[in-house]
Amino acid sequence: MARHARPSGAANSAEHRTRSQRGAEARVRKAEKRRLAEREQVSGEIRTPAEITARRARRSDKPQRASTRPSKKTPVSAQALVPERTFSGRLIVLTIVTLVVISFLVPTVRTYFQQNAEMEALSEQIAQEEQRQAELYSQLQRWDDPEFVRQQARERINLVMPGERRYHVIGDLSEADVENVADEVAEDEDEWTETLWESVVESADE
């Protein structure tokens, strides 16, 4: 009886190991399917049922290594399995805020530069007007000088002082004519001095 019980125990042990292996393989497959489903759901990828079925079939065709011992590893969270997204929500919000700020700053900066250019042009115009005003004030002060007034009167309206004569030359004169005019002027000056001296002598005699 003892000899026949020993093979029966070995068969039971082998069957138990086979069941354990099958159970472990089933658990591994379920866990992988669950991870795939969670990854597909969280990542937001859209696939057709045919693609999902084909992908699962390819994965199920690969040999699975199952341990006879139950796995003691902690299950990986769904957040760790999620692939990194190319564009995050924060990046989109930051881009929108940056564009809004730029749209507000561009007109302000353009207005600033325009006003700065206008101010420079006005400053230059004011400097020119101040220079012109200084020149006019200098000319006005020159008119306070009596000698300058007499000079301008002679040049502009041909005025002469008492006892002076003014000659207007019309046409070109030769050298001989110029000498004759100079002699006449000298004679006129001599006559004027003689007349003045005679009048002084006559007044003294009286």
* pLDDT single digits (tens) 43-87: 655 556 666 677 777 766 655 544 445 555 555 454 455 555 556
Flag whether 30 is in a domain: yes
Q: In this structure, is residue 46 part of a structural domain?
A: yes
In this prediction, residues 113-135 reach a mean pLDDT of: 93
Report if residue 64 sits inside a domain: yes
Beta-carbon contacts of 79 under 8 Å, excluding residues fewer than 6 positions away, are: 42
Candidate from 26-30, 41-45, 162-166, 197-201 with smallest mean pLDDT: 41-45
Alpha-helical (H) ranges within 44-88 are 49-61, 78-81
- The number of residues making up the chain comes to 206
Within a domain: residue 57?
yes
Mean pLDDT across the chain: 73
Considering the domain boundaries, does residue 75 fall inside one?
yes
- Mean pLDDT within 90-100: 91
Distance, in Å, from the CA atom of 68 to the CA atom of 25, rounded to the nearest integer, reads 9
Domain holding 39, by residue range, is 2-81
| Domain membership flag for residue 59 | yes
**Within-domain flag for 141:** no
Cα–Cα distance measured from residue 41 to residue 59, given in angstroms and rounded to the nearest whole number: 18
Residue 63 inside a domain? The answer is yes
pLDDT in tens, 102-118: 998 899 999 999 999 99
Cα distance between residue 117 and residue 128, in whole Å: 17
Number of domains in the chain: 1
pTM of the model: 0.30
